[in-house]
Structure 1
Amino acid sequence: MMLPVYVLCLVFLLTVIRQIGNIRLDLWQIMGLGAFVVLLTGQISIQEAIEAIDLDVMLFLFGVFAIGQALETSGYLSFISYNLFKTAKNMDAIILYLLFGMGFASAFLMNDTLAIIGTPVVLLLARQHQIEPKVLLLALAFAVTTGSVASPIGNPQNLLIALNSGIKDPFMVFGRYLLLPTIVNLIVTYLVLKFFFREHFSAAALNHSTSQISDPKLAELSRISLVLFVLLVCAKILVQLFVISFDFRLTYIALIAAIPVLVLNGRRSELIKRMDWHTLVFFVAMFILMESVWNTGFFQNFLTDTQHSVISVPMVLSVSVILSQFISNVPLVALYLPILSHASVDTGGLLALAAGSTIAGNLSILGAASNVIIIHNAEKKGNIRLTFMEFFRIGVPLTMIQTGIYWFFLSFR
């Protein structure tokens, strides 16, 4: 029964080294290997594996990937990038624009969305201004993770807490408790990045050049899809705010918004072919492996046996940051939330779970789905390999500092 846990540990090890002999492994191949092993050894049945795949997540990612690919292929993404960053005069400004622009956008458009759209933007910026791309990729990853903490719809685990914890007026509560520490943590992220990459923070002025739209018709359809996506997200926020009984899933938002680029576009076959299918394979494999690990009861038993000692704010933060690395943040929240509710933990404890399970993504590549999306896209579109240890050496101190800041604000409210 413990084999899936051992397989998960092997997946982590392979993610760290990424290479066996002369064979270089991609993240989707490593996770796929883990899923294949638990299937082959009968740790999870074919039926259970199929049921474990979250179709809503897969369709959401498919829709957003389609929009992102259309934006990039048409040249409209380059146009947007120029208009967003044209007033950034130096490296410091670029990093701050990334952290606060992508950070706050992720609070409402979800971190995975910004990871998909943001990766080609930062690769373009790096190429145009001869900036080390890994600095910008890390800034993007940390921005979309940290920024998403402050909203109940910033990421799936926050939404789960908002809907199932009994918190009234979740947008107001999340904002009141988590907005200020999130702003502080985005500033901290800037300082940490500048400390580790100080040789890249040149004071030299940046010259921005406009990019030509290569396909005006596709660019217009891409713009319509992007506007549709934003409007539908706003509609979902209103549904949440006014507690309207309507099943307004994120899946519907992504698929409806993708209609212009997939249905009205003559280049749909090319777009579909060029989409990041490897990341979708990674998620399918991850759902299967995590379900197999879940079925062992290993982590459930750990939390149940120690529930009296894991309900304080510092312990909720610490445990959720660490365990999210192993069972992913959404399953962690699904497991942890009933324990906190049974113990009648106050709002601070519930929001500690939201903050901890989210900033877990800043600790390692596997701590957040958005990290995987960014890493895969960087390798596919820019041939840039950001390794586990490159991420980890900055993610550890950053996550420790951010955890302390959320602990301070949540404990003394």
Structure 2
Amino acid sequence: MASPAQLDQKFWTGFARNIWEKKPLALKNVQSSLREISADEIFKLLVLFADRCRKLNDSEGFKFYIDGFKADPEEVLQVLPEKSDKSLLGYHERMKALFPDYCLVCDELLQVNLSKQHLLTDFTDQLYQHVGFPNRFSEMGLYLGNYRKTPFGVHVDSCGVFSFPVVGKKKFRLWSPEYVKKNPSLDRAFSYEKHKKHSELLEAGPGDITYWPSSAWHIAESDGSFSATWSLGVWVDKSHKEMVTETLKSLLDSHSETLSSMGTTRFKTRHNQSGEVTELPPAYQQSIEMLQKMTQQELQETFLKSWMKHISSQGFKTIPHTTLKLTAKSHISLRSTKSPILWQQSQISKSKVYFSFGGALIEGTKGSSLHKLILSLNAGKSCQVDKKDLQVLQLLADAGAFSRGEVIL
């Protein structure tokens, strides 16, 4: 048996230098706390999310395929896992009695992954430290069933994918983008026998990890045996240029009172007799003056707030939902000491601070009771809610910052 693979500093340094966005990788018998996200844990998460979907009468987040055909949303609600299934294998026994070939996909397990979320952040913190923070996000997905091939054929995503089988053996066949460019018939193909010799096959079972870059075309293969695999997709299809453009738009939106809202632009002359355009309309001149008045501090603050808001979700598409109604008698603590409420002092006003968690951005005052409470929470303390801060703290609670609220009797 191969020696256990360690996800230590040496591994991540080599991964960032030689593997990330360059080539696939298969690791056997990986010693990682991620193994705690086991088949039993995945089943619990599935049932939690399925129960929520049934309660809302909405199957969004799930997809179900029968013999390669996608079921209608209302049909999906009828085939979701139930607590009475007792396990992933129990769910499979119920499904295989109904369908000879099926595939269940769930893209929203992060919403209910409260107890094990810290395991994911331990993994992604190391990843991001070495390859950079994703400009879009990472998301947790799941594929399970006895399907023989991915229901939508050979395809490519815009994310690098880490896969973690928890039941059965998983096989992934991959092709380089250069090869598919020369052989476009592979796109969404199910029959590709003549192309197999130009592919790479990754195989993994429970305790193993596979990775492939965002450019890799791929399809999962099976002999019809049951398997369940969860994955972490790191989306890399958003450029820094797009991030900057979005931030500058938010800055211009904050100056909306100085920009014309008219649906037409008044002008003196459009062009001279030769067709040359030499004169800007007054509205454009006013816009230039507004831009010229922007200071270095204003630009620094705008980009710093944008960056803080972006990283406040820890790189994930969603974070676990909590339903927590605060009162002036509540005691609160952080959901996780590894997930602090981020804050920064204004670059423009010494008395102003900004707070952010889970994509929420809140303005406050430096040295206020709210500021002091957040610093105490970030230090790992349990604190009582101040009535005057209740509304703001509820916004942070809705974003998932707090784990519980205990009422003082």
TM over 0.5: no
Which of structures 1 and 2 has the larger relative contact order (alpha carbons within 8 angstroms, sep 6+)?
Answer: 1
Larger Rg: 2
TM-score by length of 1: 0.24
TM-score by length of 2: 0.24
Is the helix fraction higher in 1 or 2? 1
Is the strand fraction higher in 1 or 2? 2
